[in-house]
Amino acid sequence: MRSEIMTNVTIKDIARIANVSYATVSRALNDHKDVNEQTKQKILKICNEVGYSPNAIARGLVKQNTYTIGLLVPDITNPYYPEVARGVEDEASKEDYNVFLCNTNWDMMKEVDYFNLLLAKRVEGIIIAPVSDDTMKFVEKFTDRLPIVFLGTRIEGEKYNYVVIDNVKGAEMITEYLISLGHRKIAFIGGTKDSGTFSDRVLGYKNALKKNNIEIDENMIKICGYRKVDGSNALKAMAKEANLPTAIFAVNDLLALGIIDAAENIGLSIPEDISLVGFDDIPYASLPKIRLTTVSQPKDHIGREAIRILLEKIENKNTRVGLQRIVQPELIIRSTCKSIV
């Protein structure tokens, strides 16, 4: 028996040294029940002595698996998604899975193209933060043939898998906070009409207004997207209309950062002139110059939960009941709000 580590060792080398067949080595390395324990331990001992470690591609060829998954996110420049992706990748690596990360840039056609590409790459499952409800309808067609986990969006039906923050509760919570400071003219800025995230957050906003007998002014709801520039443009437009609120609920923190930039450019002070809140609690929100009041999402945890669900569905493909996780939000109070009572 060789005690030194060999280079470029193959399964055939292991089989020759162990005096067994190639197939026996393959079955032993994949913990197949047809290989007795004594033979299995002998083969594993030889692998250790010669420095042989089967990689994901080799294991995939044996098991007819690729040990790859796809992760589709709409905006990698939003710090929320890299933190979620890190949770996905860290948890996936524990099970020797590799992750294909695709940035769709809020483009449904790009999202569909990436989805089809991942199918062609024979990924074993996909985690997707859909751009719109239309994307979800497209993806739904594949849920019976491929494990799919929806990220950040709740989807009706017990067969679907998803991990989502309680957007309604979070939005209601932070709107109630603004109301407690005396604000009645509260604008909701951001989102797109065909987004489940927008629908849930604007619902929470409206619920809080109704509970406090505040009339809902549809002119105070500005649907403009999710990017930083969208927030900046929205505030500038409201200033031109001379229809500024006393407080703004930005659909996410990135949009809130754009509002902060625009406020400075047009001579408004936050929170002296306008109180501002966001949603997500991205790292920038806690910076000393920003100190944004927001709703926190446990982003790393959400990513880890998504991959755990996906791997469980990959291992148990015949189960029809979906796995669903609703994560609770947390209000983070900082310095961008002012009491006007």
User: Domain with 192 in it: what CATH number?
Assistant: 3.40.50.2300
DSSP of 223-252, one letter per residue?
A: --BSSHHHHHHHHHHHHHTT---SEEEESS
Does any domain span residue 337?
A: no
| 124 contacts 67 by C-beta, under 8 angstroms | yes
Same domain, 153 and 175: no
Distance CA 322, CA 167 (A): 20
Q: Give CA angle at 40 (38, 43), nearest 5°.
A: 110
Q: Are residues 171 and 230 in the same domain?
A: yes
Does residue 1 fall inside a structural domain?
Answer: no
Q: Which of 115, 96, 78, 70 is nearest to 254 (CA)?
A: 78
Task: Please indicate, yes or no, whether residues 289 and 318 belong to a single structural domain of this protein.
Answer: no
Mean pLDDT per 10-residue section of the chain, whose length is 341 residues = 54 87 81 82 82 60 76 95 96 92 94 93 94 85 90 86 97 98 98 91 98 96 95 95 93 97 96 97 96 97 96 84 94 98 89
User: With 0-12 CB in 10 A as exposed, 13-18 as middle and 19+ as buried, what is 10?
Assistant: middle
Cβ-based burial of 268 (10 A; exposed 0-12, middle 13-18, buried ≥19) = middle
Amino acid at 324: Q
Tokens of 37: 């324990």
Residues 33 and 84 in one domain: no
* Packed helices 196-211 and 167-180: angle between N→C axes, nearest 10 degrees: 40
Same domain, 44 and 84: no
Q: Please tell me the number of Cα atoms within 13 Å of 133 on its side-chain side.
A: 13
CATH number at residue 15: 1.10.260.40
Instruction: Please state, as a whole number, how many other Cβ atoms lie within 10 Å of the Cβ of residue 49.
Output: 15
For residue 336, tell me if it sits in a domain: no
Amino acid at 313: K
Q: Quick check: is 242 in a domain?
A: yes
Maximum Cα interatomic distance, the chain, rounded to a whole number of Å:
85
Our count of domains for the chain comes to 3
- My answer on whether 160 and 309 are in the same domain is yes
- Do 184 and 91 lie in a common domain? no
Q: Which two structure tokens, joined as six digits, stand for 339?
A: 């009491």
Please check whether residues 157 and 302 belong to one and the same domain: yes
- pLDDT at site 294: 98
Please check whether residues 199 and 79 belong to one and the same domain.
no
Residue 314 lies in a domain: yes
Say if 191 falls within a structural domain: yes
- Distance in angstroms (rounded) separating the CA atoms of residues 43 and 24: 9
Joined together, the tokens standing for residue 200 give 């849930």
Task: Say what the pLDDT of residue 2 is.
Answer: 41
Within a domain: 4: no
Question: CA quadruple 188, 190, 193, 198: dihedral positive or negative?
Answer: negative
pLDDT at 158: 84
| Distance from C-alpha of 79 to C-alpha of 253, rounded to nearest angstrom | 9
Q: What is the model's pLDDT at position 177?
A: 98
User: Residue 149 carries which side chain, given as an amino acid letter?
Assistant: V
Q: Which residues contact 124 (CB under 8 A, 6 or more apart)?
A: 65, 66, 67, 68, 69, 97, 146, 147, 314
Residue 108, domain member (yes or no): yes
Residue spans of beta strands (DSSP E) within the chain: 68-73, 98-103, 126-128, 148-151, 161-165, 186-189, 221-222, 247-250, 275-277, 294-296, 324-327, 330-332
Residues 185 and 230 in one domain: yes
**What own/partner pairs with CB < 8 Å and gap ≥ 24 does 296-301 have?**
296/329, 296/330, 296/331, 296/332, 297/80, 297/165, 297/170, 297/327, 297/329, 298/327, 299/80, 299/83, 299/84, 299/87, 300/83, 300/84, 300/86, 300/87, 300/90, 301/87, 301/327
Q: Which of 37, 1, 36, 28 is closest to 16 using CA atoms?
A: 1
Specify whether the CB–CB gap between 276 and 267 falls below 8 A.
no
Please state, in angstroms and rounded to a whole number, the distance separating the CA atoms of residues 91 and 313: 15
The whole domain housing 96 covers: 68-165+298-328
- Cα 274 from Cα 103, distance rounded (Å): 34
Same domain, 225 and 288: yes
**Gap between the Cα atoms of 29 and 43, Å rounded:** 8
pLDDT of residue 54: 63
Same domain? For 18 and 136 the reply is no
